[in-house]
Structure 1
Amino acid sequence: MDDARPMILFERFGFSPGGQVDISVSQVSWKSRQQQKQELDPSLMGFFLVRDGSLPLIVNESEYSPNFCVIQSHFVKLFFKFDNVSVGATYNSKVVVSEPDVYSLVFGNCQPEFSITMQVHTAMYNVIDSRKDYLPLGEIELPKLYFLFFLLYAFFFIFWVYVCVKQRPTVDKIHLIMGALLLFKGLKMICASEDKAYVRRTGTPHGWDVAFYVFGFFKGVILFTVIILIGTGWSFLKPFLQDREKNVLMIVIPLQVLENIASVVIGETGPATKDWITWNQIFLLIDVVCCAAVFFPIIWSIKSLREASKTDGKAARNLKKLTLFKQFYLVVIGYLYFTRILVPAIGTILDFRFFWVGAAVGETASLAFYVFIFHNFQPTERNPYLVVDEDEEAEAGRILEEDDSFEL
């Protein structure tokens, strides 16, 4: 690491009583960033732990204290200062956390005119039943949670295959793509479970993180593709896509590729990397653009159905299509809003010991969304688009003439 930033966040971890932090620093050297020779004071550089709740106090202290140096703050737990480290030597240190909380391991440099180069290796873990547990306290339940959802999606996939085989004459290409979505979602869940399980025992994912990112990429691409294809009515309303709908797909799929790259960078590099915050911002921006893009095909389909209901004489069929697509539109909005905004908000208000609850809420919402889509757009002989009688036709015509609730 070669950096001159005043503070660098290395890792954030939820500790139980007796949790430990190990750090090894080697190949340390300093270099002045200014032309004139400066006097180095290594005691103004060092590592420290800080609680989440103490960060506002440190900011306040920095504003009102002259010559403020963060490693001298009363609100940090000092790890060590670099006046204890010899140039070129290796320094090892350990701190035991007595009070449970979420702590951040931070490097502080109160001499920004000097850049420092060093190799750093850190390990943060709790000690449970005399064994090291490398998962934060609030994530210990995640391996079991993700495995449970893997079982649910495996059962869901098997049931979907059974439905498709049973209703083979009515199966369209969209149903096969939906099946692929379930398959990759289930594979992502089992990889997430194994990833967390190996990290908990050994501190490293042993390659499960690679499989997690691969299956997560395919899941993300297929999910947005399914939403767009259903929103355009492909296979349900028409056998082809218009140019504008193809353009939406051509925009969303490359964005999903870029989003997956950003996700890998965020997950594998950590906040100590210079561009980590930038990649976070890219990830959020792409996610917002993708979420916004999927609404356009749904809106186009609803407007087309509304206009067609006035001319083609199939009022009942169009009313059912309008009702279903309006429900789909509202559910997609609810799902994206809940998982992108409310779930992270829930995570911020939960006690750090219950971080897994936020993950459980998010995965439950995703499963409920999948159930809605697969139930309403399953292959069936009594297709609500096709099976209507004269009474339904007359009543639907009256509703479409009098009710403007289907307007967006």
Structure 2
Amino acid sequence: MAEAHGACLVTGFLLTLLLTGGEARIHKLTLTNETRFAVDLNNFGFYANGTLNVTLSHLRVPDGQVDYSTHPVGFSLSRSRVNGVLSYTAEETDTCPLTLAKSNNDEPLILFIIDIKNLSVNVTTMGIQDNILISKPKAEVTKVQRKARDAPDNAAVAQPADTGEQTAIKPEDESKEIPKSNEESAVQKKDDGQPEEKPNHEAEAKAETRTEYNLSLPMQPTLALEVNQSFYGFSFLMKVGPKAEGLYSLKFHYCRNRMPGPKQPYSFTVEVTEKNPGGFLSAAEIPLSRLYICMAGVFFTAALVWVYTLMKHRYSVFKIHWLMAALAFTKSISLVFHSINYHFINTEGHPIEGWAVMYYITHLLKGALLFITLALIGTGWAFVKYILSDKEKKIFMIVIPLQVLANVAYIIIESTEEGSSEYYLWKEILFLVDLICCGAILFPVVWSIRHLQEASSTDGKAAMNLEKLKLFRHYYVMIVCYIYFTRIIAILLKITMPFQWQWCYEFLVEVSTLIFFVLTGYKFRPASNNPYLQLPQDEDDVEADEVVTESGAMEGISKVKKTSNGRERQKESTL
């Protein structure tokens, strides 16, 4: 066991190096030679006045090989249709969402269709809108832009200009001046006749060129698509209105790869920053920091009560009772670090690496301790016997490595962007491994029940064995209910709840875990008057070399049957 714990700890330290790749609610994802037809970038619950800031850069798509008028490329931003169920997913329909002419419902749907030929992004809105879009509008395509698009290797690459009061096109190398026509020079003038600001004020000038669009009005904005060498990019900021708050899904679509045949690779980098008025957490995650710290206090209190019980009945305490105490304290500490982790995500937009490392280590230890404790109790170790059979030892050889793998998958998922292909691979691994562990943990309980059933009819101690049989049957039902509730029922409740109440899923999981811990401790409490753990007191009923389990202080000590009855029989025969 100590070697298993040491391996878990070392693995935890090694895996925390992966944390440098994740940026929590400030996302940055780079995909190279990607072939998926849809990339789920993120899901986020917005309250009113929440903001979504998206910047696409380094977009490279096959030029001249795909007809983008029939197979468009771009983003879709959709709100959930019924509470937590998204209005559509990439697998829900065979048609590309970017080709939709109208929506099937009134939920807000915004499409950003990239037009590479005209260097523009066409925005299409559907449903009832109450959002504000802020972005750089499309300008007339100038000669410099056409040159940059047609000759991407040119050192002087221009950025698209805007109409009206927009800033001028600037070459990439500002030390080189590009001859400008009279029309281009006029674009570079502002209304007051002053020339464009100097490069050190370029950020402020760009901010002034953005236009605000009220998407509730019947309009189809056209945004600017910037070109830099052979890469394309654009950005937009969306403010959520009071009537449009909800759970939103942001996806990138490359509709050509939905068709049969060879897939066309593409590459891009996208930065996504999501905020609610209170911080960087989604609506369903805002209460989690307070929830976890409160549940940590409850688990810590329960652990102290358990330790007090162990000290009060110290002569009936077994080693597994202290293991149960260690599990409760580890669970409490893990929740404390989890709460701190969410606090910094909410305030900073990303976790503080040191606190995140501590959370993942304690989470890994908690998972290993939980399944080790469940397996030991299920085999009846210390309560019925103190030696594990070879068959029972194999369960630990399977469950412990699987638990390490499950925690590895969890850490990778937490530190990987949702849009990456590895995210879904490790998510499937975590789900499968978790189910295998939950199923494997039931075998020791079944073996103990079968052993007690056989013993109740052969060793003459039917009453006591039937009591223990009843205990392990209750324990089996408890484990099954706990697994079904936390893995199935709670998830079903989560997707049917309103988006702002989905934190109740975590609350239900933590409360069910607390109830399971308390019931397990009550059933296997170290009390001398516990009917499930008592052994018969008559010496004639105790067979030779039977293990004494009435007292934890005598754990592992055996009794030898006395021979006084034989001497009395011999005395009677002589008379």
Residue number in structure 1 paired with 2:390:
243
Q: What's the CA shift for 1:365?
A: 0.7
Residue number in structure 1 paired with 2:335:
189
Once the two structures are superposed, what CA deviation does each residue of 1:165-196 show, in whole Å capped at 9, x if it has no partner? 22222221101111111111111111111111
Residue number in structure 1 paired with 2:65:
38
Residue number in structure 2 paired with 1:167:
313
Moved over 6 A (4+): 57-61
Residue number in structure 1 paired with 2:267:
117
Residue number in structure 2 paired with 1:28:
59
- By relative contact order (CA 8 Å, sep 6+), the higher-ranking structure is 2
Q: What's the CA shift for 1:217?
A: 1.4
Whole-angstrom CA distance in 2 between matches of 1:160 and 1:18? 47
Once the two structures are superposed, what CA deviation does each residue of 1:354-400 show, in whole Å capped at 9, x if it has no partner? 0111211111111000000111112222242326689xx9xxxxxxx
C-alpha contact (below 8 Å) 1:217/1:260 kept by paired residues: yes
Are residues 1:361 and 2:525 paired?
A: no
Residue number in structure 2 paired with 1:341:
488
1:60-99 map, 5 Å: 63=95, 70=98, 74-75=102-103, 76-79=109-112, 81=114, 83=119, 84-87=225-228, 88=231, 91-98=234-241, 99=244
Change (3 A) 1:73 1:258: farther
Q: 1:370 aligns with which of 487, 509, 517?
A: 517
C-alpha contact (below 8 Å) 1:125/1:135 kept by paired residues: yes
Residue number in structure 1 paired with 2:283:
137
Residue number in structure 1 paired with 2:447:
300
Classify the secondary structure of the residue corresponding to 2:421.
Answer: coil
Whole-angstrom CA distance in 2 between matches of 1:275 and 1:144? 31
Are residues 1:386 and 2:529 paired?
A: no
C-alpha contact (below 8 Å) 1:316/1:388 kept by paired residues: no
Change (3 A) 1:316 1:60: closer
Are residues 1:126 and 2:272 paired?
A: no
C-alpha contact (below 8 Å) 1:71/1:108 kept by paired residues: no
User: Any unmatched runs of 5+ in structure 1?
Assistant: 394-408
Q: What's the CA shift for 1:298?
A: 0.6
Classify the secondary structure of the residue corresponding to 2:239.
Answer: strand
Are residues 1:47 and 2:75 paired?
A: yes
Classify the secondary structure of the residue corresponding to 2:276.
Answer: strand
Residue number in structure 1 paired with 2:206:
none
Whole-angstrom CA distance in 1 between matches of 2:381 and 2:313? 19
Once the two structures are superposed, what CA deviation does each residue of 1:239-280 show, in whole Å capped at 9, x if it has no partner? 110000000111000011111111122222133111322222
Whole-angstrom CA distance in 2 between matches of 1:338 and 1:174? 26
Whole-angstrom CA distance in 1 between matches of 2:418 and 2:320? 40
Are residues 1:322 and 2:349 paired?
A: no
Aligned length: 379
Are residues 1:105 and 2:253 paired?
A: no
Whole-angstrom CA distance in 2 between matches of 1:59 and 1:334? 32
User: Any unmatched runs of 5+ in structure 2?
Assistant: 1-30, 104-108, 120-224, 258-262, 542-575
Residue number in structure 2 paired with 1:15:
46
Classify the secondary structure of the residue corresponding to 2:386.
Answer: coil
Once the two structures are superposed, what CA deviation does each residue of 1:113-157 show, in whole Å capped at 9, x if it has no partner? 5433222211111124xxxx2111122111111111000011111
Q: What's the CA shift for 1:40?
A: 6.7
Whole-angstrom CA distance in 1 between matches of 2:322 and 2:537? 30
Whole-angstrom CA distance in 1 between matches of 2:267 and 2:510? 42
Whole-angstrom CA distance in 1 between matches of 2:112 and 2:238? 7
Change (3 A) 1:318 1:202: same
Whole-angstrom CA distance in 1 between matches of 2:255 and 2:457? 72
Residue number in structure 1 paired with 2:325:
179
Once the two structures are superposed, what CA deviation does each residue of 1:92-120 show, in whole Å capped at 9, x if it has no partner? 32111221111011112234454332222
C-alpha contact (below 8 Å) 2:98/2:111 kept by paired residues: no
C-alpha contact (below 8 Å) 1:79/1:95 kept by paired residues: no
Whole-angstrom CA distance in 1 between matches of 2:456 and 2:91? 61
Whole-angstrom CA distance in 2 between matches of 1:103 and 1:387? 61
Whole-angstrom CA distance in 1 between matches of 2:390 and 2:407? 26
Question: Could you tell me the TM-score, scaled by structure 2's length?
Answer: 0.62
C-alpha contact (below 8 Å) 1:21/1:124 kept by paired residues: yes
Q: Which amino acid aligns with 2:246?
A: D
Q: What's the CA shift for 1:28?
A: 3.2
Q: Which entry has the higher C-alpha Rg, 1 or 2?
A: 2
Question: Could you tell me the TM-score, scaled by structure 1's length?
Answer: 0.86
C-alpha contact (below 8 Å) 1:46/1:71 kept by paired residues: no
Change (3 A) 1:205 1:74: farther
Are residues 1:223 and 2:370 paired?
A: yes
Whole-angstrom CA distance in 2 between matches of 1:265 and 1:28? 26
Are residues 1:4 and 2:35 paired?
A: yes
Q: Calculate percent identity across the aligned residue pairs.
A: 32
Name which of structure 1's ranges 50-59 and 216-225 shifts more when overlaid on structure 2. 50-59
Q: 1:352 aligns with which of 499, 505, 523?
A: 499
Classify the secondary structure of the residue corresponding to 2:383.
Answer: coil
C-alpha contact (below 8 Å) 1:150/1:190 kept by paired residues: yes
Residue number in structure 2 paired with 1:398:
none
Residue number in structure 1 paired with 2:300:
154
Change (3 A) 1:317 1:57: closer
Residue number in structure 1 paired with 2:170:
none
Name which of structure 1's ranges 104-113 and 119-128 shifts more when overlaid on structure 2. 104-113
Q: What's the CA shift for 1:55?
A: 3.4
Whole-angstrom CA distance in 2 between matches of 1:191 and 1:109? 40
Whole-angstrom CA distance in 1 between matches of 2:65 and 2:232? 23
Whole-angstrom CA distance in 1 between matches of 2:287 and 2:327? 25
Which has the larger helix fraction?
Answer: 1
Q: Which amino acid aligns with 1:45?
A: V
Q: What's the CA shift for 1:31?
A: 4.0
